[in-house]
Amino acid sequence: MPLRDPEGRRHRREHLQQGAVVLAGVLAVVTVGWVVHTRTGADEPAPVAPTVAATLPEQVPIPLPSVSPSPSMTPINEIVVEQVPIGETVDLAAEGETDWVHWGEKGRFSLERDSGGGFTILEGTPGEPRLRHTVSPQRFTWPGAPDAGVASGIRTCGDGHGFTLSAPAGTESRTLRLYVGAMRARGDLRIELSTGGKAYTDSFTSRGNSMGTTAYVVSYRGSGTGKISIKWITGAAFDENCGGVALQAAALS
């Protein structure tokens, strides 16, 4: 039977009690520290990030394109001509809203014209030879003209002889219709603006014994106030008796 050692057991109990006390103290310290840390973190406000002033880059002005006049806004010197056939009858009052003129119904110096046209279409100084004719293949009519219209006009003979006309020009577009002819001759046409630009030239030839006729539709505008000038001249006569050019009518709108 083993011997009992009451003294040894007593010492072991004392050591265990002391260890338990130490452990309890450590746990108490840890617990208090955790509680204090938790309360401190809950009560203190969250740290605020320092405010950084926003620095914007200096605004750079954006260059804008310079405003320049559109080509359509810039007045130009322009002449556009179309040569067209003539119908059997020409109503001058309908085609000449601004002015119209017919030559030669009552004599070689007579002019039948729009009473309200203000002499917008003008003929230059008449030259010689100047003859009346009644052989136009077309008929011209206007208020007060014979019901069937008239086939009259004026003509000239020989190289270098012809007619000159003029009408106002400006920055607005205008249209002039010119009714001309030739008999055994070549007619030379020249149109130009006093305000500048390129002149327009053309020719029309009729070699037969009857009169050949044509119409020129002249659309034009100038770069300022001026006039349009028209020359219809015999460039070449094919008949020594009286080959030359003829002039019947003009209408402006």
The CA distances from residue 126 to 60, 130, 164, 178, in Å, are 71, 8, 8, 17
Helix (H, G, I), strand (E, B) or coil at 116: coil
> φ, ψ for residue 181 (rounded to 5)?
-155, 180
Cβ(153)–Cβ(103) below 8 Å: yes
Note if the bond before 75 is cis, omega within 30 degrees: no
Cβ(239)–Cβ(232) below 8 Å: no
Residue 216 pLDDT grade (very low, low, confident, very high; cuts 50, 70, 90)? very high
201: which residues sit within 8 A by CB, 6+ positions away?
Answer: 188, 189, 190, 191
pTM: 0.71
In the predicted structure, residue 64 carries a pLDDT above the cut 70: no
The encoded tokens of residue 245 equal 């050019």
pLDDT tens across 3-43, in order?
A: 444 454 554 555 445 554 445 554 544 444 444 344 444 44
Q: Which CATH class is domain 76-252?
A: mainly beta
- pLDDT-above-90 percentage for the chain: 68
> φ, ψ for residue 139 (rounded to 5)?
-110, 135
pLDDT tens across 125-164, in order?
A: 999 999 999 999 999 999 999 999 999 999 999 999 999 9
Spatial separation of the C-alpha atoms in residues 176 and 217, rounded to whole Å: 6
Cβ(180)–Cβ(204) below 8 Å: yes
Spatial separation of the C-alpha atoms in residues 117 and 77, rounded to whole Å: 24
Q: What sign does the dihedral 104-105-109-112 (CA atoms) show?
A: negative
pLDDT tens across 159-204, in order?
A: 999 999 999 999 999 999 999 999 999 999 999 999 999 999 999 9
